[in-house]
Amino acid sequence: MCPVVVPVPSRSPSSSSFMLDGDTVPLPEGVPNRDWEGFFRQQATVQSDSDDEHIPEPLLTPYPYLVTPYPSSVEHIISHHPPPTPDSPFIPEPPQGPWDGWIPALNSPVYQHRQHQYISQSYSEEGGDHFVRRWQKWDQYGKLWVPDRHRFRSPSPISILGIEDYFYLNVRSMNEGGKKSLVFSDFSPILDSFLHTVFVDIDHDEILEYPIHRLSQKMKVLRSRLDDAYTFLDTEQLPGDLVTKAEVFGFNASTGCEGAAEFVDVLVTHLEKLLEVVETESKQTVKQLEELLSNNEISFELLEYYYEEGERYIFNDGLLQNSLDVERPIILVVLKSARFRDDRQALLVKLEHLEWDGVRFEKRTMSLDLFAFQGTRAFSSLFLQPVTDEALAKVTERGRLYLSYSRVCCAEYYDDTPMRSVFSGNSTPRTRRVMVDPVGFYRALQGYNPNLRVSLPDDAQEHIARLPYWIGGYDLEVNQWRIFSIWDLKPVKYDQEAWSKLIMDEDTKDLIRALVDNAGCSVGGLKPAQFNKGQTILLKGPPGTGRMTTVHAVCNLLKRPLLTINITSHDFLYDLMNLVLDISLRVSFAATWNAVIVVKDADRFLESKDQGHRDRVRTVLRQFESDDCISFWVSGACDEELLTQFSAVVELPELNTAARRRLWLGHFGLNDPAAIIWNSERTLIGSSFVDQKEMDHSLLLRDVEKLSRHQLDGKMIDNIVRSARALAASNGEHLSVHHIKVVMKAQRLDNLPLWRKLTRILTRPAKVLHM
């Protein structure tokens, strides 16, 4: 059982419980007692060449660097240590030499973490008050930090580094005359164990090294932990709580409870010295940083002091991509590392954020360069910005919107985010329907499996602010997987009147509806009983007869997305195997999305050539026979023997005058009563009490009747109306017959054939002809 521990008396920072002042270490037998003071003694005046304004004291060392008892050749270091980088260097432990074993081992349990290291002093080191200042430069060949031999020091005797030195302060430079940086390393075992509890992102197997800015950033935390250690020592501890409370400071509980209080006592001394040195060396820099932060500005050289690893920041992708939209494309990220490049012309940052890939939340990383700039800049101009309440509320609201689209659904995408590009200029906004499918998007990169579907986790609300501003899906217009900005997605508004406005005889409409009704349901709804094979319908007719209009009307009726497949003769003739695989994949998409398939440009595909050709067509058609698959084939011709391969064949004739009249009226939002035109003509002739509104309506009907006599197909009429709407919009007017006439005249479509003019005259009422 551990005894009750009483408070430890206060001690001076320079004292140590492991070696009293005046203690000496005797030399073992067989080692010559040299006159170190007279060995290579030289006196010199040394000027400071470091950026930290430190003027070193005269250094006393037992040898010059070249005859130090520890060989430090590059070959030896490379063979015993993995190659580091300038951003993650290490100080290699010295190899065993004639000095090994001269200092007696300490049996205190606090030194059971690792054996203490003893490193020789040289003219590149300076003994300080319980720490050693060491000047180093980067060895490009050995890829490690080595002593700076260009520092001309005065060697004279000094004792070997002992337990009174708590850490190293390394003054490092990449090259002679380059900017120097301060890095703390070689901490005492107690400090090393404690700092691993503060910087939890460090691997315990790695040698602990920290630039001064990282320790300066944690100054408040370190001061708080030091106060906790004081409280621990000043309070009487129960035996059961002793080890548990000491573990918070890095104490190894497996060593027993006898050394717990001693561990914390020594930690206080070592930590006080570390904080004293950090504050002294960074005082001027911290003052400059505080002055700039008060004005919401920062300089490039101080970014390393400001950006704290492990903290949250707002990543503004709009500023990074030079976008016109810099308000919405922001992400809540965690800064993993921030280090200057070797030439200090860029700050290398590594960011981490969460992303919902449709299956689970995944941690994704980004490595970016923040290039150097002159003077100071406002934080709002940097792509990595501090987290504000406004930004946090914005990403949280957007995260809720993200969750509403996190499952498979059809949406309208209006890409209204202009991009500033020197190559393509600003993209034109356009609206189209897309499939939001994050699972499919991420699996399409590695192979798609539509049978794997996982629901959103229950803890999604905890990560809602860290969700991205984009989501993966499929662009139905261009048939490509891509990502969509979450704010540009809108729910689909299906036109429920599209089916009733479809220009087709009622018997044909009833046939098509009967074929698709049983197999159709809205996205996310219950699926009906499965068919033995899918419904494949051929819409046969010349262009402009309403083939695609029929397909869109069916999709609006069933509230289902439309997946388009284009089959070219080249794909069919030369790459049948890949064509079959591609169609099979698209059919699996349609099954997952509950989509309707339309096969366009199939005229040459369905033409008769020979028996082998027809067999290949049948092979392709069989891919559409999967359960619940509704596919429409749009073609102007088809081989007679292939007609039997379709579930139904619908012949669409060319538009007659009545069909064109309905089509023109539909573009003006009017119905087609049978006798309205003739009644309107009689009203115009026989009555003078009709108000202006009725007169305008009657004039419109007469103009529509004239337009319907022009032998135009449906596609031509749609194109004319589209151009007329653009003309009206440019003039700030509503669509009228005048705009249509202007477009038709420009396209030379306003002249009727002679036989059409005669037919028009002969079909007029008798009293009109005799007028």
The two structure tokens encoding residue 22:
């005046």
Q: Is the pLDDT of residue 93 over 50?
A: no
Q: Which residue has the higher pLDDT, 212 or 128?
A: 212
The pLDDT > 90 percentage for the chain reads 7
- CA pseudo-torsion sign 295, 297, 302, 304: positive
Is the separation of the CB atoms in 310 and 352 below 8 Å? no
Q: Is 155 inside any structural domain?
A: yes
d(CA 273, CA 583): 72
Q: Are residues 164 and 221 in the same domain?
A: no
Q: Are residues 645 and 667 in the same domain?
A: no
Is the separation of the CB atoms in 161 and 99 below 8 Å? no
Q: Are residues 630 and 723 in the same domain?
A: no
Confidence of residue 226 (pLDDT cuts 50, 70, 90): very high
Confidence of residue 325 (pLDDT cuts 50, 70, 90): low
Q: Is 443 inside any structural domain?
A: no
The pLDDT > 70 percentage for the chain reads 66
- Cβ neighbours for 604, distance < 8 A, ≥ 6 positions apart: 569
Confidence of residue 423 (pLDDT cuts 50, 70, 90): very low
Confidence of residue 30 (pLDDT cuts 50, 70, 90): very low
Q: Is 4 inside any structural domain?
A: no
The two structure tokens encoding residue 141:
């060949």
* Residue 25: predicted pLDDT: 40
The two structure tokens encoding residue 761:
């005259």
d(CA 391, CA 378): 16
Is the separation of the CB atoms in 162 and 103 below 8 Å? yes
d(CA 321, CA 308): 24
- From residue 226, how far is each of 12, 168, 188, 203, 409 by CA, in Å? 15, 20, 16, 23, 55
Q: Is 569 inside any structural domain?
A: yes
Confidence of residue 151 (pLDDT cuts 50, 70, 90): low
Q: Are residues 600 and 620 in the same domain?
A: yes
Q: Are residues 34 and 48 in the same domain?
A: yes
Residue type present at position 196: H
Residue type present at position 637: A
- Cβ neighbours for 690, distance < 8 A, ≥ 6 positions apart: 683, 684, 698
Is the separation of the CB atoms in 519 and 630 below 8 Å? yes
Q: In the predicted model, what is the mean pLDDT of residues 298-310? A: 88
pLDDT in tens, 359-402: 677 788 889 898 999 999 888 888 888 888 888 888 888 888 88
- Cβ neighbours for 32, distance < 8 A, ≥ 6 positions apart: none
Give the residue carrying structure tokens 């060593």.
255
- Cβ neighbours for 142, distance < 8 A, ≥ 6 positions apart: 74, 77, 78
* Residue 645: predicted pLDDT: 83
Q: Which residue has the higher pLDDT, 607 or 76?
A: 607
Is the separation of the CB atoms in 643 and 649 below 8 Å? yes
Q: Which residue has the higher pLDDT, 445 or 1?
A: 445
Residue type present at position 9: P
Q: Is the pLDDT of residue 200 over 70?
A: yes
Strand segments, DSSP code E, in 117-179 are 125-127, 132-139, 144-147, 168-173
Give the residue carrying structure tokens 């249509």.
740
Q: Are residues 125 and 202 in the same domain?
A: no
Q: Is 628 inside any structural domain?
A: yes
Q: Which residue has the higher pLDDT, 51 or 239?
A: 239
Q: Is 516 inside any structural domain?
A: yes
Q: Which residue has the higher pLDDT, 565 or 124?
A: 565
In three-state form (DSSP H/G/I as H, E/B as E, the rest C), the secondary structure along 592-606 is HHCCEEEEECCHHHH
Q: Is the pLDDT of residue 627 over 70?
A: no
d(CA 279, CA 219): 8
* Residue 324: predicted pLDDT: 61
The whole domain housing 209 covers 187-281
Q: Which of 83-92, 227-236, 660-669 has the highest mean pLDDT?
A: 227-236
Confidence of residue 497 (pLDDT cuts 50, 70, 90): confident
Give the residue carrying structure tokens 């060697």.
155
Comparing CA positions, the residue from 586, 606, 584 lying closest to residue 597 is: 586
Q: Is the pLDDT of residue 272 over 90?
A: yes
* Residue 561: predicted pLDDT: 92
Q: Are residues 332 and 261 in the same domain?
A: no
Is the separation of the CB atoms in 144 and 92 below 8 Å? yes
Q: In the predicted model, what is the mean pLDDT of residues 15-22? A: 37
- Per-position DSSP letters for 225-283, written without gaps between them: HHHHHHHHHHSPBPHHHHHHHHHTTT--GGG-STTHHHHHHHHHHHHHHHHHHHHHHHH
Average pLDDT, the chain: 71
Is the separation of the CB atoms in 48 and 281 below 8 Å? no
* Residue 268: predicted pLDDT: 92
Q: Are residues 39 and 145 in the same domain?
A: yes
- CATH code assigned at 552: 3.40.50.300
Is the separation of the CB atoms in 347 and 87 below 8 Å? no
In the listed set 376, 401, 426, which residue is the last one of a domain according to the structure?
401
Structurally, how many domains does the chain consist of? 5
Judged by average pLDDT, the poorest of 45-54, 213-222, 236-245, 260-269 is 45-54
* Residue 184: predicted pLDDT: 92
In the listed set 401, 431, 446, which residue is the last one of a domain according to the structure?
401
Question: Measured between alpha carbons, how far apart are the two ends of the chain, in Å?
Answer: 127
Q: Is the pLDDT of residue 528 over 60?
A: no
Counted residue by residue, the chain has a size of 771
Q: Is the pLDDT of residue 721 over 90?
A: no
Q: Is 435 inside any structural domain?
A: no
Q: Is 627 inside any structural domain?
A: yes
| Strands 361-371 and 562-566, bridge-based pairing | unpaired
d(CA 328, CA 402): 13
Comparing CA positions, the residue from 560, 714, 562 lying closest to residue 652 is: 714
- From residue 512, how far is each of 441, 628, 630, 637, 651 by CA, in Å? 33, 15, 11, 19, 12
Strand partners, 466: none
Q: Are residues 58 and 165 in the same domain?
A: yes
- Per-position DSSP letters for 484-516, written without gaps between them: EEGGGEEE----TTTTTT--S-HHHHHHHHHHH
Q: Is the pLDDT of residue 79 over 50?
A: no
d(CA 297, CA 299): 7
Q: In the predicted model, what is the mean pLDDT of residues 500-508? A: 82
Is the separation of the CB atoms in 440 and 589 below 8 Å? yes
Comparing CA positions, the residue from 197, 267, 202, 204 lying closest to residue 232 is: 267
Q: Are residues 128 and 252 in the same domain?
A: no
pLDDT in tens, 679-712: 444 443 334 434 555 656 677 788 778 887 887 7
Q: Are residues 36 and 170 in the same domain?
A: yes
Q: Which of 133-147, 157-171, 694-708, 709-723 has the highest mean pLDDT?
A: 133-147
Strand partners, 649: 538
Q: Which of 6-10, 204-208, 247-251 has the highest mean pLDDT?
A: 247-251
The two structure tokens encoding residue 172:
């490092």
Q: Is the pLDDT of residue 451 over 80?
A: no
Comparing CA positions, the residue from 224, 301, 268 lying closest to residue 14 is: 268
Comparing CA positions, the residue from 597, 596, 614, 606 lying closest to residue 635 is: 606
* Cα angle 430, 660, 731; round to 5: 45
What letter would DSSP give residue 157? -
Q: Are residues 664 and 647 in the same domain?
A: no
pLDDT in tens, 572-598: 656 778 888 888 888 888 888 989 999
In the listed set 281, 311, 339, which residue is the last one of a domain according to the structure?
281
Comparing CA positions, the residue from 239, 615, 592, 544 lying closest to residue 448 is: 592
pLDDT in tens, 59-69: 333 323 333 33
- Longest CA span, the chain: 144
